């Protein structure tokens, strides 16, 4: 499709939308969807996502970029242009629990998530059969605390080899080093099995059971070096009651986790997410 998305961040000032839309108009682009948000009409920060069609895309993308540069400079913008025709390349990391991986594979197969899944990496063999039944490359890289460095070197070399745009931690139970994370800023999406910040850390379902909460949840977030503290992308919950034991909570949790992660991944792939001060702006 001849569709692209323009993402903009800059200080809020009068005239931004006017300048941007005039530029698109001159370039014969037709706006399909437009979203904007300002943290504060007085001296706030401005964010915009415009999805547009143009008969000149993708050929004229470079010309387009060049032409937009002066406007970007005038308003002090950081900006990005991504074509819907440039399908993003994804790697999925997983351990032993396969429900999130399965969901992503099915959504991908049915065309509900548009990406190019390049490989699946796991520290266990459990998902090999599933992955290979989808004709995808599977890499088994055993991992533990002590060999973290070597493991990540292998992983990074695969990410480079496949030119990966997005890493999805689909219940990957290993902690990544700051070095690894630093190489992929806001390119790693994790699913945490609690309604963060409640039950941050390990064993959230056990702790939820012990506290006697009446709702359990899941949280998808970008990975940063503060464990479970990265910008939240999506959350959802399910109602539980006194009859549900820890295993029931885990089972119900799986259902929330897979749908929450799938939504977060979809939004990332459609360039609907902007990170600002450890929060996400989601232009749905």
Interaction pattern, residues 236-265, with a second copy; x per rule: CB under 8 A:
xx---xxx-------x--xx---x------
Candidates 31-39, 76-84, 114-122, 173-181; binding stretch for a second copy (CB under 8 A): 31-39
List the x/- string, 161-180, binding to a second copy by CB under 8 A: --------------------
Q: Confirm or reject binding of residue 31 to a second copy (CB under 8 A).
A: yes
Length of the chain (residues): 284
Under rule CB under 8 A, residue 78 binds a second copy: no
Segments in 166-230 forming alpha helices (H): 178-183, 204-211
Check whether the bond before 58 is cis (ω within 30° of 0): yes
Which secondary-structure segment (H or E) carries 167? Answer: strand 166-169
Contact (CB, 8 A) for 222 and 188: yes
CA–CA dist 160, 137 (Å, integer): 15
Would you count residue 99 as binding a second copy (CB under 8 A)? Answer: yes
Is 228 considered catalytic here? yes
Pick from 1, 62, 73, 110 the residue near a second copy by CB under 8 A. 110
The yes or no reply on residue 278 touching a second copy (CB under 8 A) is: yes
Alpha carbons 236 and 251: distance in angstroms, whole number: 15
Rounded CA-CA distance 272/225 in Å is: 23
Report yes or no: 244 and 145 within 8 Å, Cβ to Cβ: no
Q: Verify cis geometry, omega within 30 degrees of 0, for the bond prior to 197.
A: yes
> Which residue number, 140 or 214, has a Cβ lying nearer to a second copy?
214
Catalytic site positions: 228
Which residues form the interface with a second copy (CB under 8 A)?
12, 14-15, 17-18, 21-22, 24-25, 28-34, 36-38, 41, 53, 98-99, 102, 106, 110, 112, 133, 195-199, 211-215, 217, 231-237, 241-243, 251, 254-255, 259, 278-282, 284
């Amino acid at each position: 499709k001849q569709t692209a998305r323009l993402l903009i961040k800059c200080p809020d000032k009068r005239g931004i939308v006017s300048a941007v839309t005039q530029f698109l108009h001159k370039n014969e682009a037709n706006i399909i969807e437009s979203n904007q948000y300002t943290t504060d009409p007085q001296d706030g920060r401005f964010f915009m996502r415009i999805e547009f069609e143009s008969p000149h895309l993708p050929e004229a993308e470079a010309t387009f970029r060049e032409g937009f540069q002066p406007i970007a400079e005038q308003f002090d913008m950081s900006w990005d242009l991504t074509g819907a025709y440039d399908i993003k390349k994804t790697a999925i990391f997983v351990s032993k629990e396969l429900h999130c991986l399965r969901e992503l594979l099915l959504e991908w197969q049915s065309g509900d998530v548009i990406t190019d899944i390049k490989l699946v990496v796991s520290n266990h063999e459990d998902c090999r059969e599933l992955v290979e039944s989808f004709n995808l490359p599977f890499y088994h890289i055993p991992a533990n605390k002590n060999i973290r460095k070597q493991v990540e070197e292998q992983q990074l070399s695969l990410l480079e080899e496949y030119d990966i745009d997005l890493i999805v931690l689909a219940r990957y139970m290993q902690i990544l080093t700051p070095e690894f994370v630093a190489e992929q800023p806001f390119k790693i999406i994790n699913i945490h099995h609690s309604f963060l910040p409640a039950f941050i850390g390990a064993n959230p379902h056990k702790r939820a059971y012990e506290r006697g909460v009446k709702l359990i949840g899941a949280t998808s977030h970008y990975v940063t070096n503060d464990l479970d503290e990265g910008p939240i992308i999506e959350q959802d919950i399910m109602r539980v009651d006194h009859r549900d034991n820890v295993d029931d909570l885990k089972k119900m949790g799986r259902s929330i986790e897979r749908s929450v992660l799938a939504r977060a991944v979809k939004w990332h792939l459609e360039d609907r997410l902007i990170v600002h001060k450890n929060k996400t702006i989601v232009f749905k």
